[in-house]
Every structure is written in structure tokens, then in C-alpha cells.
Chain A
Amino acid sequence: MSPGPLSLVPELQRLIGAAHVRTALAERHTYATDSLPTHRRTPALVALPGTRDELIAVVRLLARHGVPFVPRGAGTGLSGGALAGHDAVLVVLTRLSRILRLDAANRLAVVEPGVVNVKLSAAARPHGLHYAPDPSSQTACTIGGNVAENAGGPHCLKYGVTSQHILALEVVLPDGGVVELGSPGGEPWGPDLVGVFVGSEGCFGIATRITVRLVPLPRAIHTLLADFDALRTAGEAVSAIIASGVVPAALEMMDRPCIQAVEDSVYAAGYPRDAAAVLLVELDGNAEAAVAAEADAVARMLRERGARSVRATAVPAERERLWQGRKKAFGALGRLSRDLVVQDAVVPRSALPAVLETIARIAETHGLVVSNVFHAGDGNLHPNISFDARDRAMAERVERASAEIMAACIAAGGTITGEHGVGLDKLRYMPLVFGGDSLGAMRGVRRVFDPAERANPGKVVPVHACREWAGVA
């Protein structure tokens, strides 16, 4: 029987210092949500270890006493995944923020989990390198959080998501054991345990050291902005670009509500306010002539597919301005209403036009404002629902609309999350995608890493939906 987290306060204070163990309600409330406003849990206490050894000591203490814990980075997640309840300790990793090694010759870096995504790229820049996955929250989110969620971002279209950039991990398992997974060259020492750890949402332990792959900065970059009269036409242009064989670095779409929110904000990027949709297409490479030729070809395709206008630039300041609107779109949307649900789903790219129309119908049916800003090139949708959580009836409509959007994406051959994770928010949809045996298999894997299921309990796999599995109680 667990003694309860609060009984561990003196020992935790001894391990990591009293200032780094937060017990006051006001302090704990700070950690009651992530960036998704629909879930709220206040942790029993919050521990902020400052070194790898402190982190391991904390996990071992919790293991000895059988206390559940939830790892958390910057709390920018969008699935309620990094929330701990009254019976669990929230282990916050933001103080573990050192870049331990940067090996330019081998294009890799070794970092602690609390390193902020954009700071890693900044450190790599003088070497002509960068860390490619770039979630919208990259100025705040941490590499540890990116690993836990297998985070994406606009430029993952060409460069791949987090799992393609993690070479090796040092992990403290929930029982306190420390294990090294993967090798600096990326070849596993056996079955691909790095691969299964990335995206495990804190249920398999905590990465204490992360070896990431860095990629060369492109020498030539061209950015195009195209605007359209109809969402469907923009969606069809996306399909045409993908099917042509050109692989843009990024291919992003925003609809009218989103364009207007951006243009009304300090992040105004000069998007045409009357457009039904804009596409932001980025092409990069090492040779200016080849990238320029590709940009011309894409501009032609966009015009042929119904773009009203296409603006192209290779000037860094102009490119930055165009991107600012996209990167800060969620912030701009946040000004429109008290609360915002940022949804996440993926559909086959050719299904985008039809699914976008279905989402618009769902929004209309429920009397909600849904704006779309998303990674069109990957088919990764982010329908954002503006609402006021204090209005219970409205909040229920948001829940129903979210469920219908998920069902529509699954029916189109897609899935319920492309980069935000399951966390708490998508638990109920997991049985719509996976059968009992598949969910049981996932739970079986989790129990190999964490037999007592103390690490981030109650997330990712809905236990009630699992078919009985060998070794699973």
C-alpha cells in the first residue's frame, strides 16, 4: 500500500532541495493543465530535479514507495498527457536544460530532456546544422516532451517526425533502473527499443539523456503563399503537389477564420483577408538554381489548380513574416474566445477536401466556430474550436463536435492523432482505431517497462478496452 506522495516531501526536499519541491496549492494549480483547456488535474506535489542524478534519485524514491508519477516538460502538450492527479507526483524536467555535447562532424547532439527545442537549433546553427522537428510551440517545448509525444511540426513533411531524429536514449525506468537504448550511430543493440520508447507519452519511464540527429541547414529556401476562393480547391492543390513528386520542406494550410484571426493580431503576416484558404509552401535544398526551379514548378501548379494569386519570396525577412502568421496562429486564435480546443487528426491527403467540408458541416450543426490551421502536406489536420468552458452546454457541444470530427477522420481512413498524442483526451477514441488484441498488446508492452503501471497512469491505452493478454493482470 502506497504511503501517499505527501509523506515523501521531507525525503524529496533532502534529495533536490526544498525550493524544488512544490506543495502549496497555488503552486500546484500552476501545473493543473497543459495547453488543452478541457482537462484539469492538480498534482499531489511537484518535484523539479536539477540534475540527472537527482532525477534518478527521485524516481528511485517513488519506486521504493510505490508512488505514481507523471513526467512533464514545459507543459505545452495538447492531450492532457502531462497531468498528475492527487495521488501522483509531477516530475517537472525543465531544470535539466543542458546541451551536453554537440558533435558537428557526426551531426548529433546529446541533450538533457528539459532543453527547449528552439535553443537546440540555435546552438547547432553556428555549425551549419539544426534540429529539424519544429512544433508550433518550439520556443517553449522541450526535447524530452518532444520524445514523449513523438512531436511533429511543419518541416516534418520533408525531414520526418521526432522518432526519425532520435538516435539513442538513456532512460530511467519506473523501477529506478537506468538503461541505455540505441547507439550514437542510430543502429539498435537489439530490437528497436528507442523506436518504441519515442511516443510512449511518459508511460515507459523518463529519458535522462537524449542523442538527437542534426541535419544541415539548407542553403537555399523559397517560400510561396497562395490564396484560394474555396477550401476544396486548396485541398486539391495540395494533392496535386504531393502527387507531382516534389517534396516541399513544409506545406501548410489556413482557412478564412484563421487568416482573419492572424491578420487581426500582432502577428499579421499580410495574408489576403478575403481568401477562403491560404497555402504556405516552402522548398529548400543546397543549390539555389534547383530550389528556384522547384519553386517555379510549384507556383505553376498552384495557379493551374485555382490559386487566385501566388506570392514567392526567398528574402529571409519576408519569409519570416509569412511564417510568423502560421507559427503564431494558435496564439492569434486564442484571442477570439476564452478557451480554444486544438484538435489533431490525420487523413489521407487526397481526402482533405472532403474531410474539411465535413468538419465545416459539423461546426455548423453544433453552432461552433471551427478554424483550421494545419500540416496539409501530411494530411495532419488541426481543427480549432473556439468556446467558453464556463458555458457547460457549449462545452458539451464542443465534446460532441470533437467526437464527430474524429469519427469522420477515421471513416476517411485516418487516425485520431498525428502529433499531439493520446494522453487523456483521446483515450475514448482509441477503441475506434484499435481492436482489443491490439490495445492489449500495447498494454503488454507498457507493463514490460512499467509492471506496476505507475508512470503516467491512466493515459494512452484505455485499460477497459484491452483484451486479456499474457502477463497482463
Chain B
Amino acid sequence: MGRRGVSIAERVRALLGREAVVDAGPDAAGGPRVAPESPDGVALLLGTAHEEGWRVRVEGAGTWLPGDTPADLTLATRRLDRVPAIHPQDLVATAEAGIGLDALRQRLADRGVWLALDPPGLPGRTLGSVVATATAGPLRGGFGPVRDHLLGMTFVTGDGRLVQAGGQVMKNVAGYDLTRLVTGSFGAFGVIVLVHLRLRVLPRADSTHVLEGARSDLMQIAEEIRAAGGQTAALELVSPALARRADWVLGVRLVGSAAAVETEETALRAAAGGRFAPLRADQAQAFWRHAAEGNAARAVTFRVGGLPDATDELQDLLQHQVGDERVSASPGVGAIRWNGECSADRLLRLRRTLAALEAPLTVERAPWELRHAVGHFGAYREGAGPLVSGLRGTFDPGHRIVTAIDTGAG
């Protein structure tokens, strides 16, 4: 493998220049790490990989998926970190996929605009990683899943073709929606290199309020807030370990104009008899950051998407089958994220149980051995498997991009 890796590194240097090979390897995946500096470079690399039969592992900042996916080379997007356009007056921006979300957030804030995404993991996770895995955080309750923030993208297929999807405007039905197909496909259809984003004005007011208590009590309060029509940006039930508190915490985030936030705060006080405690800005930031980072503290992270009124039942199920030490849930949208240690067998069993409840379980991150065994998605529903494999064959005919979307039939 070592000799083969060196040979690939030399080939890549000849193709893309010496600086493209950032680590001659072999790395944990078994080959050199290559960081093209342009979308065309990514296309050239994947086109060559397709011809040569090289298996490619795709990496952003290297903080989400472990780097143990077996491959002949690692394609790192870290040098695709430019922000070609920010248009505050149109509330849109175009950013390359390798930029860290923290850096992007700062660039946007400097222009008075905001990307309403707060994904799990470290702040430096790349935009491409968040889009490829569709990992939304608590703000999904108020602003929707990752796909709702995307206007279009450019991606490179497994055989090196640059494909434009969508555009840079607010509405667009010109052709099939490949942006949504690629979002959350865990790299199955190509490598995202450029993303057109839908932004919001940086909120004038942004406040967080927390309430500690037993999970079932907090769930009841969350339901009351939802039924009362509360316009929360986030309504998140966080386990004690993630919240770094003694008990479960219901975190409520309110954003918008000062008047709108004040109105919601008044309603919130009424909802729980004044028991919610407001957090200072630094405390609020720490609360949400701990929850996000805690979602990636252990080896395995998965999400479950169920019906809102099943959230409590699904949490009971998780507690019973895999424990609930590190769990956060958005009861209003039926989304639950779990982090911990878990064997393939238990995960497969849990997935089967959840499937009967119409709640998909998506493995967001895990060591390769487990990802390979259970797959990001597991067995496809009747009739969908041929569609997914047909699409995979269309976009990556040689299956050069190594990803666990074809596995986990158990």
C-alpha cells in the first residue's frame, strides 16, 4: 500500500502541482492526502481516479467523519476556502465547500448577514461536510433543515464532471433539483465544491432561555409552547451530559427584531410559570456550543426523524436500547440526535425497530468498520434501492468515492 501511495502521490503532483499533495502518506486511510486548490483541480483528480481505479476518501476539516475509510487517496477540500460573493442586499452568498463554518459565519457577520445553521460538531467543520451529511442542529426547528438554506451548488461527479445545480436566486425550477439530491447523500454522487446560500439578516435580538427538569415534564412544556404557536428559532431538549447540567434542559432560542423577541419572551414566561432562566450572551453561546460539540464527543452519532408527537416515545426507545446519556431532540420537528458508543448489532436492531415506527435512522458519523457494517442509511425501502444504486452508478460509475451508502442491508 505504501509503495502504491507514493506512486499515486507522484502522479498527483504531476497533475495538480507539488503543493496539492499536503501529506504524502500513507495516512489512516492508506494513501496520500491531496488538497486541490480549485474545482477544476477536483475534477481533474476525480477524473484521473476514475480512469486509474483509485478509491477516494473525501475529507473536509477532518473533524467529523473519522479518517479511517480505506482508500487509495484522501481528497481534502480544505484549500477550497474562498467566499466568491456575499450580497447582503439580496441575502445570498456563494462559498467554496472547504471553508470552515466558523470562518464563514464571521465573514457573513461582517456584512450584517447570517446563515441560520448550527450543526453538531466542532465550529470549524466545513460547509461541504455539513451539506453532504445534511446535519442540521437546533435551529432546524425555526429555519428548516440544511436543504432549505441552499439555492444551488457545483459538485464534481465520481468520474470528474463538473455539474451545476440550481442557481443563486431565491426561486428556481429550471431543471431537476440536483441540489436536494446531493444534499445529505454522504458523497455518494460527488464532491461538493461550491455552494450558493440563502441568508438572513443578522438578528437584532438573540436570546436563549433554559429550564431544567425531568425529561417528561420538559417535553410537556415544549408541547405547550408549540401548541401556543410560539415562534422559536430553536426548541431543544438536551440531556444532562450534553448540557453539562444535573438534569435535562429545555433550551429555547428566540431571534429576530427586538419587538418580536420581546413578544416571544413574554409568551415563554406565561408558558412555564416564569421558570425559564434567561442566559447571558456568553452563557448562551457556551450552552449551544457544548451541545453541538457534545454530539461528536463519542465515536458514533446518528439522527432519527420521527413524527413530532412520537418524540417522547422514540426517546424512551433509545433510552431502552442504547441509552440516552448524550441526546438532543427538537420535539417540534420530531428530530433526535444521539451520540455514544454502540455496536453494529445494536444499531441494526434499533434501526429495524424504528423503521416499524416510520422513523428513519441515519448514521451521521462512526468508525469505518461500523459505518460499513450498518451503512449511513441501511437497507432501502422496497423499490428505492434500485433508484439509489442507479443514481450512484450515474454519478460515480466506478464507485471511486468510498462511502457507506451501499451497505448495511441487515
A294-B260, A434-B175, A470-B159 known; A448-B308 Cβ under 8 A: no
The yes or no answer to B371 lying at the interface (CB within 8 A) is: no
The yes or no answer to B301 lying at the interface (CB within 8 A) is: no
Q: Are B358 and A293 in contact (CB under 8 A)?
A: no
Q: Are B178 and A442 in contact (CB under 8 A)?
A: yes
Q: Are B169 and A442 in contact (CB under 8 A)?
A: no
Residue ID in chain B nearest A173 by CB atoms: B383
Q: Are B161 and A346 in contact (CB under 8 A)?
A: no
The yes or no answer to B124 lying at the interface (CB within 8 A) is: no
Cα–Cα distance between A297 and B89 once the two chains are bound (Å): 18
Q: Are A188 and B164 in contact (CB under 8 A)?
A: no
Q: Are A437 and B360 in contact (CB under 8 A)?
A: no
- Residues from chain A with Cβ under 8 Å of B383 in the complex: 173, 177-180
Q: Give which listed residue, B165, B188, B257, B382, contacts A191 with CB less than 8 A.
A: B188
Residue ID in chain B nearest A192 by CB atoms: B180
Chain A contact-residue range equals: 35 or more
Cα–Cα distance between A195 and B395 once the two chains are bound (Å): 17
Instruction: Give the most central of A106, A179, A441: most B CB within 10 Å.
Output: A441
The yes or no answer to B41 lying at the interface (CB within 8 A) is: no
Nearest-neighbour CB distance to chain B for A392, whole angstroms, equals: 29
A243-B201, A350-B87 known; A191-B169 Cβ under 8 A: no
Q: Give which listed residue, B171, B384, B391, contacts A418 with CB less than 8 A.
A: B171
The yes or no answer to B288 lying at the interface (CB within 8 A) is: no
Q: Are A419 and B305 in contact (CB under 8 A)?
A: no
- Residues from chain B with Cβ under 8 Å of A185 in the complex: 305-308, 310, 333-335, 358-359
Q: Are A441 and B167 in contact (CB under 8 A)?
A: no
Nearest-neighbour CB distance to chain A for B405, whole angstroms, equals: 7
Q: Are A187 and B335 in contact (CB under 8 A)?
A: yes
Residues 94-143 of B at the A interface (beta carbon under 8 Å):
134
The yes or no answer to B78 lying at the interface (CB within 8 A) is: no
Cα–Cα distance between A279 and B335 once the two chains are bound (Å): 39
On chain B, the number of residues with a Cβ less than 8 Å from chain A's Cβ atoms is: 83
Residue ID in chain B nearest A181 by CB atoms: B384
The yes or no answer to B369 lying at the interface (CB within 8 A) is: no
Cα–Cα distance between A244 and B203 once the two chains are bound (Å): 10
Q: Give which listed residue, A245, A286, A434, A440, contacts B229 with CB less than 8 A.
A: A286
Nearest-neighbour CB distance to chain B for A296, whole angstroms, equals: 10
Nearest-neighbour CB distance to chain A for B214, whole angstroms, equals: 22
- Residues from chain A with Cβ under 8 Å of B183 in the complex: 192, 195
Q: Are B267 and A349 in contact (CB under 8 A)?
A: no
- Residues from chain A with Cβ under 8 Å of B147 in the complex: 192, 195
- Residues from chain B with Cβ under 8 Å of A180 in the complex: 381-384
User: B-facing mask of A286-320, CB < 8 A → 1, else 0?
Assistant: 11011001100100000000000000000000000
Residue ID in chain B nearest A418 by CB atoms: B171
The yes or no answer to A25 lying at the interface (CB within 8 A) is: no
Q: Are A191 and B200 in contact (CB under 8 A)?
A: no
Nearest-neighbour CB distance to chain B for A346, whole angstroms, equals: 4
Q: Are A433 and B174 in contact (CB under 8 A)?
A: yes
Q: Are B229 and A193 in contact (CB under 8 A)?
A: no
The yes or no answer to B177 lying at the interface (CB within 8 A) is: yes
Q: Are B184 and A239 in contact (CB under 8 A)?
A: no
A105-B308, A173-B383, A189-B381 known; A348-B90 Cβ under 8 A: yes
Q: Are B176 and A191 in contact (CB under 8 A)?
A: no
Which of A66-74, A155-163, A325-333 contacts the other chain? A155-163
Q: Are A192 and B263 in contact (CB under 8 A)?
A: no
Which of A26-34, A226-234, A420-428 contacts the other chain? A420-428
The yes or no answer to A323 lying at the interface (CB within 8 A) is: no
A150-B173, A245-B201, A470-B393 known; A413-B180 Cβ under 8 A: no
Q: Give which listed residue, A164, A179, A415, contacts B382 with CB less than 8 A.
A: A179
- Residues from chain A with Cβ under 8 Å of B62 in the complex: none
Q: Are B257 and A245 in contact (CB under 8 A)?
A: yes
Q: Are B171 and A419 in contact (CB under 8 A)?
A: yes
Q: Give which listed residue, B91, B161, B377, contacts A242 with CB less than 8 A.
A: B91
- Residues from chain B with Cβ under 8 Å of A105 in the complex: 308-309
Residues 353-380 of B at the A interface (beta carbon under 8 Å):
358-360, 362, 377, 380
Residue ID in chain A nearest B362 by CB atoms: A187
- Residues from chain A with Cβ under 8 Å of B144 in the complex: 160, 164
A346-B170, A438-B165, A445-B391 known; A244-B201 Cβ under 8 A: yes
Nearest-neighbour CB distance to chain B for A449, whole angstroms, equals: 7
Cα–Cα distance between A285 and B257 once the two chains are bound (Å): 13
Q: Are B360 and A348 in contact (CB under 8 A)?
A: no
Q: Give which listed residue, A246, A446, A469, contacts B176 with CB less than 8 A.
A: A446
Q: Give which listed residue, A200, A245, A297, A417, contacts B200 with CB less than 8 A.
A: A245
Nearest-neighbour CB distance to chain B for A16, whole angstroms, equals: 23
The yes or no answer to B11 lying at the interface (CB within 8 A) is: no
- Residues from chain B with Cβ under 8 Å of A349 in the complex: 89-91, 170
Q: Are A434 and B168 in contact (CB under 8 A)?
A: no
- Residues from chain B with Cβ under 8 Å of A440 in the complex: 161
Nearest-neighbour CB distance to chain B for A284, whole angstroms, equals: 11
Residue ID in chain B nearest A217 by CB atoms: B229
Q: Are B157 and A441 in contact (CB under 8 A)?
A: yes
A149-B173, A195-B147, A470-B397 known; A441-B178 Cβ under 8 A: yes
Cα–Cα distance between A467 and B231 once the two chains are bound (Å): 47
The yes or no answer to B7 lying at the interface (CB within 8 A) is: no
Q: Are A189 and B380 in contact (CB under 8 A)?
A: yes
Q: Are B360 and A183 in contact (CB under 8 A)?
A: yes
- Residues from chain A with Cβ under 8 Å of B381 in the complex: 179-180, 189
The yes or no answer to B88 lying at the interface (CB within 8 A) is: yes
Q: Are B387 and A106 in contact (CB under 8 A)?
A: no
- Residues from chain A with Cβ under 8 Å of B176 in the complex: 196, 199-200, 203, 442, 445-446, 460-461
Residue ID in chain A nearest B144 by CB atoms: A164
The yes or no answer to B297 lying at the interface (CB within 8 A) is: no
Q: Are B171 and A156 in contact (CB under 8 A)?
A: yes
Q: Are B384 and A347 in contact (CB under 8 A)?
A: no
- Residues from chain B with Cβ under 8 Å of A189 in the complex: 360, 377, 380-381, 384
User: A-facing mask of B242-283, CB < 8 A → 1, else 0?
Assistant: 000000000000001101101110010000000000000000
Q: Give which listed residue, B170, B173, B200, B262, contacts A378 with CB less than 8 A.
A: B170
Q: Are A416 and B174 in contact (CB under 8 A)?
A: yes
Q: Are B168 and A187 in contact (CB under 8 A)?
A: no
The yes or no answer to B163 lying at the interface (CB within 8 A) is: yes
Residue ID in chain B nearest A246 by CB atoms: B257
Q: Are A420 and B303 in contact (CB under 8 A)?
A: no
Given A177-B383, A285-B260, A379-B170: 19 more A-B contacts, CB < 8 Å = A179-B384, A180-B383, A183-B305, A185-B310, A190-B405, A191-B388, A192-B147, A203-B176, A243-B88, A245-B202, A348-B92, A350-B89, A350-B90, A379-B171, A422-B175, A426-B174, A441-B165, A445-B178, A470-B393
The contact sample of 12 A-B pairs, CB cut-off 8 A, is: A106-B334, A195-B177, A195-B181, A195-B183, A196-B176, A239-B89, A246-B257, A346-B169, A435-B164, A441-B165, A448-B387, A467-B161
Q: Which residues of A approach B to under 8 Å, CB–CB?
A: 103, 105-108, 149-150, 152, 156, 160-161, 163-164, 173, 177-181, 183-193, 195-196, 198-200, 203, 216, 219, 239, 242-247, 285-287, 289-290, 293-294, 297, 346-350, 375, 378-380, 413-422, 426, 430, 433-435, 437-442, 444-449, 460-461, 467, 469-471
Question: Lowest 10 CB-CB distances: which A-B pairs, in order?
Answer: A187-B305, A195-B180, A245-B201, A179-B383, A418-B171, A448-B390, A190-B377, A444-B394, A290-B263, A191-B185
